[in-house]
Copies of this chain bind each other. A is one copy, B any other.
Amino acid sequence: MAGNSIDLIHTTHAAAPGGHYSQAVLHEGVLYISGQLPVRAEGSHSADQPFEVQAAIALDNLVAILNAAGRQPSDLLKVTIYIAGIGHWPAFDRIYARYLGQHRPARAVVPVPALHHGYLIEIEALARGGEKMTVG
């Protein structure tokens, strides 16, 4: 009915979806990125690793999906971070600042009970959309 298309983003450089969802969706100039757990791009899990390692893997997935849509961390508009244990807040903020550099998008850090597979962190985001690129 609507002429405005919905494009699904897929890249093998981020963890494959573990259920009925796409890594990201592009619509009318906004990129909607699914919640990223600290699953590595090749599929291995990291739930036994320290928080810092898990946070970096989740952020790696986020950046890979941004890149697959032709975007960068500097295109992020709003990021929501779910963490199991609000005590991880300071460590998260440090790692996040390293990944984002000068850009400071809107953000919410939300404490939750243990995440899927026992993970300590999940990250979702909205970003300024771009041209979809074919990334293998």
**A interface residues (Cβ-Cβ under 8 A, vs B):** 1-2, 4, 6, 8, 17, 19-25, 27-30, 32-35, 70, 75, 77-80, 82, 86, 89, 93, 96-97, 100, 104-116, 122, 124, 126, 128-130
Contacts and interface: CB of A to CB of B under 8 A. Distances in A.
B106 A34 contact: yes
B28 A104 contact: no
User: Do most interface residues of chain A lie in helix, strand or loop, or is the interface mixed?
Assistant: mixed
* Copies, count: 3
B108 A17 contact: no
A109 to B, nearest CB: 7
Given A17-B104, A28-B29, 8 more contacts: A6-B128, A19-B89, A19-B107, A20-B93, A21-B104, A34-B107, A110-B112, A110-B122
